[in-house]
């Protein structure tokens, strides 16, 4: 039996995305970071709950964001900090 026969399809999709050209991966990461920050703002600042569809979208985006970031040599802690710090910088920049 082949190794990928037992692989989680969600992880397989994330690995595929991580195998794309660097320029494509950077574009995907940027788009995912924008959407993830929007979700974070809605939940933390506005107190709203995500819909089931938004939760699925958030999970897929986070999985791909992490897989792509790891392919560039970052770990989960660093990538999480990137999302959090960028959210703070963007928020502070809008308040000025």
| Six-digit token string for 80 | 């999480």
Q: Do 32 and 79 form a contact (C-beta atoms < 8 A)? A: no
Residue 89 is predicted with a pLDDT of 54
**Alpha-helix residue ranges (DSSP H) falling in the chain:** 9-18, 22-44, 52-71, 76-95
Helix axes 22-44, 52-71, angle to 10 degrees: 140
| 33 backbone dihedrals φ, ψ, rounded to 5° | -65, -35
Please determine, for residue 17, whether its predicted confidence score (pLDDT) is greater than 50.
yes
What is the pLDDT at residue 96?
Answer: 44
Reported as a single tens digit per residue, the pLDDT across 48-88 is 999 999 999 999 999 999 999 999 999 999 999 988 886 66
Tell me the domain boundaries of the chain. Answer: 10-95
- Provide the sign of the torsion angle of the four alpha carbons 86, 77, 79, 64, taken in this order: negative
Average pLDDT over residues 84-93: 62
CA distance 86 to 34: 9
Query: What whole-number distance in Å separates Cα of residue 57 and Cα of residue 37?
Result: 13
């Amino acid at each position: 039996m082949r190794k990928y026969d037992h692989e989680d399809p969600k992880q397989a999709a994330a690995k595929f995305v991580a195998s794309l050209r660097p320029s494509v991966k950077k574009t995907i990461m940027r788009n995912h970071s924008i959407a993830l920050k929007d979700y974070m703002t809605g939940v933390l600042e506005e107190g709203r709950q995500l819909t089931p569809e938004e939760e699925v979208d958030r999970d897929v985006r986070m999985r791909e964001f992490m897989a792509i970031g790891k392919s560039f040599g970052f770990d989960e802690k660093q990538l999480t900090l990137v999302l959090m710090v960028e959210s703070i910088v963007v928020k502070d920049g809008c308040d000025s």
